[in-house]
Structure 1
Amino acid sequence: MIRAGLLLAAGASRRFGPDDKLLARLRGRPLLLHAADALRQVPLDRYVAVISNPSLGPLLEGFEVIVIPQGGQSDSLRAGLAHLDHPDRLLIVLGDMPDVTPSLLSQVLAHASDDGPSASHDGQHPMPPACFPRSQLPLLAALSGDRGAARLLRDLPPERLIAAPGQLRDIDRPDQI
């Protein structure tokens, strides 16, 4: 079974202002490193990061780095999928979620099956990190816009949802650092 991690970090960060939020310091390190380090600690066969700012590349040791123009989350997903050759499991992590842990990522990975994805849950909605089986990758590739895979996760049964209190914050504005 081929298991791949996909770190999405190519957004425009418009609400953050002119600086790249993924380079902003949080707890003494660039924001991107928090999610990247958590993902690196999950035993996977491949680690791929999709970025739009080439300055992020040096932070991503151990990742296959794909540089694309800034765009929506679906653009990053499609670029990552095009680079990967249909892994059996695809664990998707967002670069602006600094509180995800290797344990959460491992649980999400373990709860996906050959016929259905798994996702984190904030008490109200399923959300990334999420893991998709090979059978669902064509659905991911068909997405457009900045909503990502949310609509593919909304009807997941409870056994595919991992509660992650305090771990699903994403950084959008400077005052959230």
Structure 2
Amino acid sequence: LSASIRHASTLLDAHHQGLMIGLGDQAGIHSDILCALTRQFQKSGKITACCHGTVISPPVVFPRSELCVLDQIDGDEGAGKHLRQMAREHSDRIDCIPVVPIKDIDRPGDWQKFN
């Protein structure tokens, strides 16, 4: 996961303003969430993530100026740990859009519960 994310961050052309990261196992993500993330990112230019209460989660948009955060991730971890730390220490660098809890589909039983 981390290698794929870091590689994607190296592929941005000069005309790209940022990188949106979404996870394939989040079956509850709808286009309205992605559109809201994009609109808020275009307004603020900050890291823009989904939030449910105090929980920050993908999908998330990183501006070019914050891609260095992605260099810190390792192995099968995503950027979530670093986003949560940043939210505690530098909350002015992150915007959140409120969402209902986003469910992960990790096992066949999760999919059955989702439907």
CA-atom RMSD in angstroms: 2.0
How many correspondences in the alignment?
102
**Structure 1 counterpart of 2:20:** 91
The structure whose RCO (Cα within 8 Å, separation 6+) is larger is 2
**Structure 1 counterpart of 2:4:** 76
Q: Give, as a single letter, the amino acid of the residue that structure 2 aligns with 1:94.
A: L
> TM-score scaled by structure 2?
0.75
**Structure 2 counterpart of 1:146:** 76
Change (3 A) 1:138 1:130: same
The SS at the match of 2:19 is strand
Q: Percent identity?
A: 33
Inter-partner Cα distance in structure 2 for 1:160 and 1:79: 24
Which deviates further from its counterpart, 125-134 or 83-92? 83-92
Inter-partner Cα distance in structure 2 for 1:161 and 1:146: 24
Gaps of 5+ in 2: none
Shift of 1:174: 1.3
> TM-score scaled by structure 1?
0.51
Q: Choose which of 60, 64, 71 in structure 2 pairs with 1:130.
A: 60
